[in-house]
Amino acid sequence: MTKNDVDKVRTFAVVGHGDSGKTSLTEAMLYDSNMITRLGKIEQGNTVSDYDPKETKRGITINSSLAYLNWKDSTFNIIDTPGYLDFIIDTKTTLRVVDTALIVVCGVSGVEVQTEKVWDYSEEFKLPSIFFINKMDRERADFNRTSQMIKDYFGQNAVPIQLPIGSEETFEGVIDLLKLKAYYFKPGSEGKSQFEEKDIPDDLKEKTNEYRQKMIEAVTEYDDEILMKYLDGEELSQEEILSCLRGGMIERKVFPVLCGSATKNIGIELLLDFIKDYFPSPVDLPEIEVKDLKEQKNIKIKRSLNETPFSALVFKTVADPYVGNLTYFRVFSGELSSDSSVYNATHDIENKVAKIYRMQGKEQAPVSKVIPGGIGAIAKLKKTNTGDTLCDKEHPIEFNRIDYPEPIMKFAIFPKSKGDEDKLSIAINRIVEEEPTIQVYRDEDTGETIIAGMGESHLDVVIETMETKFGVEIEKSTPKVGYKETIRKKIQAEGKYKKQSGGRGQYGHCFVEFEPQERGKSFEFLDKIVGGVIPKQYRPAVEKGIIEAMKKGVFAGYPTVDIKATLYDGSYHTVDSSEMAFKVAGSMAFKKGAAQANPILLEPIYELAVTVPKDYMGDIIGDLNSKRGKIMGMEESEKGRQIIRAQVAQAEIFRYSIDLRSITQGRGTFTMKFSHYEEVPSQIAQEIVEKAKKENESES
């Protein structure tokens, strides 16, 4: 292995909005490079990268999928990524480990919501990016409109370096503005296109010259010396133009725009040539910042084969009930060989590496080693999760971890069969290892097991995975609201438990004063017994009885909070009194007192921060008001968006992610966190109480 081997590696992700044609484009690249013998179709469910049954059933990419190809003297490592909002975080994780983003834009729909998302991620990771306008053969496809949208959204340095020949059903080729040549594509056997190089047609020469000048103006801004030469009217050499293009791409000063049709296989070979000639290799990119765990400081390491010890980042784990986890990693420096060992710096554990696999969709091919830019997979690594750093044990480092957004959609889940609790527990543990954006926890207020994710479709897919992989059937429902009860006035209540049934009886007698406390103060118990009217050993039992009774309030059966209970009087029997009797007496005092102390229902209130483009502000505020929301303030965020801060009852926002997407066409985002409890409006409270009574009656 030499530096030249790394020079010939191109590692990139195919990203974009759902249905822009990412998977079809990946398939066409594999086909034209002779890595596959048949051009698969999304609708037939036989593409290399969409192999999961859940993907073929839905006709969309759900999981990032690996592929590779050899083109001329170079090796391409490709990751086909999801484009739908519920699964877009998988795309972000992928962009963390590639060297370039190939952003696919539909020639009909243009720039869409997730196009903006993946652009934001590419900016965050400072990735060189190019645009490929796909589906130029489709009805209403418009290159000029779509390329202008790209400029409007992502800046004037997004410049076409190709032009289409024809459009819609007459789309037949591509003009290369770098070589000033026209390439006509004709269908060959089994989908293989044959192209012919020709001179640019006369009717497109003026447009070609216009776009070429715009391209030269954009790329020469990368190099001041060449820019001055151009501005002085001197003729630039082809080498100078190409050098500026490649350098500008690497430094994110130029974003080339290409075009074609993946399904018609038009322009794909030109795209492959462009990737080979202009996409950066790992060694072309700047040093990467990591944390030196020995020195406990940040350092920069070279993305090289021989100058830096081995380092890699785990970007995906796939749980399998039979063979264990399959760990996907990208090597940044050094190399990893099979039949060796690897150190997980994140969890301080060393693992034996038997075989390393190269993935072509679901197919595994053993390889002897992986070099910088390479992507591999290892089975059965212990305690290794997405985001972990693998490295040389003598030079322990850690890559910066990705910040994942908080889940925004929740379901309550439970097994359909009562005997499947253990199966469900195993499935949950494995899924949490595989899916870093999934959270599972037990809601102490409602007793439900809650699964939280990035949207309804995301959770549906995760639940389906748990059922198919781990054999547990799962029921889901909207989570219950964690209502609580409290009282509004001070009251004194007597609790007297007297039982005589032959032999020793039971006797406990207490007087307790109950009064409301400030929100959030929970429960306080005061012992103000004077003298020995209740012996000391029985007084804690009164408190226990009250606490136990508070778990199921008198108003609607919800836990009671924020009260103070003062034990001030009572009596006892020298023979019949016991801790149990006073515990029952305390419970009786609470039930009697709370019922007379004007009990009310409290509901959890959440703080929402909703980020939307300005155009949607009025609709969002109106929707929040309809959800009993209180607008607390507004502020401007980066990129001119508005952040609307509000407090909203939990009962109103279980499906807010769906509502927000509908209102903003997916352009809005939000975060939420628990704030406090507040009294439920009387009309709504009455409905809740009546519903609770009916449920109690049906249970009894």
**Residues 171 and 42 both lie in one domain:** yes
Lookup result for tokens 């995301």? 458
The CATH number that applies at residue 631 is: 3.30.70.240
The parts of the chain modelled with pLDDT lower than 70 are 1-4, 188-193, 320-323, 502, 698-700
Q: What is the pLDDT of residue 56?
A: 83
Task: Choose one of 457, 477, 497: the last residue of a domain.
Answer: 477
Residue 236 lies in a domain: no
Residue 453 lies in a domain: yes
CA dist., res. 668 & res. 661, Å (int)? 6
**Residues 379 and 467 both lie in one domain:** no
Q: What is the pLDDT of residue 81?
A: 96
The β-bridge relationship of strands 173-176 and 181-187 is antiparallel
Q: What is the pLDDT of residue 52?
A: 84
Q: What is the pLDDT of residue 45?
A: 82
pLDDT tens digit sequence for 466-507: 998 889 999 999 999 999 999 999 999 999 999 977 677 899
CA dist., res. 25 & res. 105, Å (int)? 11
**Residues 315 and 270 both lie in one domain:** no
**Residues 361 and 343 both lie in one domain:** yes
Burial 654-667 (b: 16+ CB within 10 A, else e): eebbebbbebbebb
Selection from 27, 7, 129 nearest residue 74 by Cα: 7
pLDDT tens digit sequence for 398-410: 999 888 888 889 9
- pTM assigned to the model: 0.87
| Domain assignment of residue 461, given as a range | 409-477
Q: How remote is the C-alpha of 42 from its chain's centroid?
A: 24
**Residues 620 and 574 both lie in one domain:** no
**Residues 424 and 569 both lie in one domain:** no
**Residues 494 and 608 both lie in one domain:** no
In the structure encoding, which two tokens stand for residue 288, read together? 């990467």
Residue 231 lies in a domain: no
The CATH number that applies at residue 570 is: 3.30.230.10
Q: Do residues 499 and 573 lie in contact, with contact meaning Cβ atoms separated by under 8 Å?
A: no
Q: Phi, psi at residue 72, to the nearest 5°?
A: 60, -115
Task: Choose one of 456, 477, 498: the last residue of a domain.
Answer: 477
Residue 358 lies in a domain: yes
Q: What is the pLDDT of residue 192?
A: 62
Q: What is the pLDDT of residue 43?
A: 77
The CATH number that applies at residue 182 is: 3.40.50.300
Residue 690 lies in a domain: no
**Residues 109 and 13 both lie in one domain:** yes
The β-bridge relationship of strands 484-487 and 599-612 is antiparallel
**Residues 306 and 349 both lie in one domain:** yes
Helix (H) / strand (E) element for 647: namely strand 642-649
Task: Choose one of 452, 477, 502: the last residue of a domain.
Answer: 477
Q: What is the pLDDT of residue 500?
A: 79
Residue 217 lies in a domain: no
Selection from 178, 239, 238, 242 nearest residue 208 by Cα: 178
Residue 26 lies in a domain: yes
Burial 446-474 (b: 16+ CB within 10 A, else e): eebbbbbbbbebbbbbbbebbeebbebeb
Q: What is the pLDDT of residue 59?
A: 84
Taking the C-alpha atoms of 264, 265, 267 and 272 in order, what is their torsion angle to the nearest 10 degrees? 160
Domain count, the chain: 5
| DSSP state letter for 349 | E
**Residues 520 and 549 both lie in one domain:** yes
Helix (H) / strand (E) element for 6: namely helix 3-7
What type of residue is 698?
S
Angle at which helix 224-231 crosses helix 238-250, to 10 degrees, equals: 140
Residue 539 lies in a domain: yes
**Residues 425 and 302 both lie in one domain:** no
Q: Do residues 478 and 680 lie in contact, with contact meaning Cβ atoms separated by under 8 Å?
A: no
The CATH number that applies at residue 425 is: 3.30.70.870
**Residues 553 and 645 both lie in one domain:** no
| DSSP state letter for 605 | E
